[in-house]
Structure 1
């Protein structure tokens, strides 16, 4: 295979998912715009948004990389069957995703206090992050596995899919679940 044909193959596989990622990013921006009115009610909310979305990419991008490597090496089959390697990777990502979400709530509260700003209540910020983190973890794990396995079975290189899938699912569902978490905490608070 020539360099040119290899580059074209990567481009051909990545372009459709990148276009979907673009649309997903625009949608996430629209959801963010609807959260803006909650910023006054929950000071610190806007501070958490970029950190929350970035950590979705970090945690689940690593999971996608593990799955991709396992598929390439033949250590993981692209099926939803019990596989100890896959289960361990998924469980570690789930725990990391939820744990880091809680840490974001605590850190945001502490940093804002340290800067002399008045944040929302600690339980509110942590509650928002916990709800959003839990829901996005479930969707990102399920969506990532489903899309990578389906793409791999159709001959796509999972390395070309992981980044755009994680980014799109993380942004779209991260923002939707943040909006849901804000509404839920607002009702409960």
Structure 2
């Protein structure tokens, strides 16, 4: 009888474990996407300092580019960490890690400089700023990115290491959690840079000095890792992505500056905006990270038709994301009891999600087949396209259906 009871208990436990594995993507993604609620903090900061960011057209134009650039850089690191931990190229330690890890982390500073140069140039062009403002725009972008990296690189690394040590899947946990923290810190860094540029006495001098110091530091790191192939591979492959990402994100910046008057009438959209792009970007990033890991370990063939084999995972990701978008819609609805503000995020999400899933999977397959590292492309490109498409969808719906 006792043996029979033990057998029943084992069968029950086995069933519970199978059920847990069956819904693992939903439970882990629902948990990790909860950190995207922190995007509301970033949005609230932007709403509070609206006077500062509307001082110059280029100031509001660079905000989406700053977020997207941050997402792309953080995506490179998160993707390399997730895969590197799985295949033991990276150790779960911040101070006693492999040279591979330090080379990848160091390359991000040079990548941020490339992104800052493209970012400032495009903001200058699309907003029609004066030529005399270009050095200030460039230095502001560099400073904002540098301040962001001081926290996000070690924070993202530690989140990945802790998750891996505790038996959690970094593919489902790392990027969603780290991206939200990075968005909050990137927003704070962006506001600090603007504050120094416009309001702080001698702030512009500080901005220029910070830019020069960042460039010198990037040169020193390049010299230290001059014989490390992974440093140059990351720089070579990811730089193309960063350039593309920044150019695409310029569309977001232009779109927001184009509907400035309507944004002033819909402040709730600014408040939920970072959370919207975080949640959608993170849900697609989870799928992209899972796909690249499966490609590396051989459990997924590099065929686009195999996308249908991941329908269960996609359904769980869609459900967990939709729950949060309902929350964002409700938050947007509360201030003015405007039903349009409730429907806006939900409509945007359901229009963009399937498109980005297909693009993310296609990029993973194409880069893998060409012998490139998908982690240098999938999340960064997905982040930029998601941010841009969501911003374009939001602005298009506002222009079409909202009258000031």
**Normalising TM by the smaller chain, what interval?**
0.7 to 0.9
Cα deviation 1:23-49 (Å, max 9, x = unaligned): x11011011113321234332111111
Q: Is contact 1:43–1:118 with CA below 8 Å preserved after alignment?
A: no
Counterpart-to-counterpart distance in 2, 1:172 and 1:120: 30
Residue 111 of structure 2 is matched in structure 1 by 96
CA contact (8 A) 1:60 1:140 kept: yes
**Other-structure match for 1:18:** 33
Residue 32 of structure 1 aligns with which residue?
A: 46
Bigger-Rg structure (1/2): 2
User: Is the Cα contact below 8 Å between 1:79 and 1:149 reproduced in 2?
Assistant: yes
Question: What are the equivalent positions in structure 2 for 1:1-189 lying under 5 Å apart?
Answer: 5-22=20-37, 24-80=38-94, 81-113=96-128, 121-186=133-198, 187=200, 188-189=203-204
Q: Would you say the 8 A contact 1:20–1:168 is kept in 2?
A: yes
Cα pair 1:112 1:118 within 8 Å, conserved: no
TM-score by length of 2: 0.43
Taking only aligned residues, the RMSD between alpha carbons, in angstroms, comes to: 2.2
Between 119-128 and 132-141, the greater mean CA deviation after superposition: 119-128
- In the alignment, the residues of structure 2 paired with residue 42 and residue 120 of structure 1 have an alpha-carbon distance, to the nearest angstrom, of 14
- The TM-score normalised by the length of structure 1 is 0.87
Task: Report the CA distance between 1:65 and its aligned residue.
Answer: 0.6
- Highest RCO, 1 vs 2 (Cα 8 Å, sep ≥ 6): 1
Q: CA deviation at 1:16?
A: 2.4
- List, as ranges, runs of 4+ consecutive aligned residues in structure 1 with deviation greater than 4 Å: 1-4, 117-120
Q: 2:62, 2:119 within 8 Å by CA — same for their partners in 1?
A: yes
Q: Is the 8 A contact 2:58 2:127 kept in 1?
A: yes
CA contact (8 A) 1:112 1:119 kept: no
Contact 2:120/2:137, CA 8 A, preserved across alignment: yes
Contact 1:105/1:129, CA 8 A, preserved across alignment: yes
- Report the CA distance shift for 1:141/1:7 in structure 2 as closer, same or farther (over 3 A): farther
Local SS of the residue matching 2:162: helix
- Secondary structure of the residue aligned to 2:23 is helix
Q: Residues of 1 paired with 2:78 and 2:98: CA distance? A: 15
Would you say how many aligned residue pairs link Structure 1 and Structure 2?
Answer: 185
**C-alpha distance in 2 between matches for 1:68 and 1:136:** 21
Q: Distance in 1 between matches of 2:74 and 2:115?
A: 12
Distance in 2, matches of 1:103 and 1:159, equals: 30
Cα displacement (A) at 1:119: 8.4
CA distance in 1, matches of 2:22, 2:115: 36
Q: Matched residue of 1:121: which SS? A: helix
Verify the 8 A CA contact 1:43 1:120 in the aligned structure 2.
Answer: no
Instruction: Please say if residues 112 and 142 of structure 2, whose CA atoms lie closer than 8 Å, have aligned partners that are also in contact.
Output: no
Distance 1:118 1:3 in 2: 62
* CA distance in structure 2 between the partners assigned to 1:55 and 1:153 by the alignment: 29
Q: 1-side partners of 2:84 and 2:184: how far apart?
A: 27
Name structure 2 gaps, 5 residues minimum.
1-13, 205-404
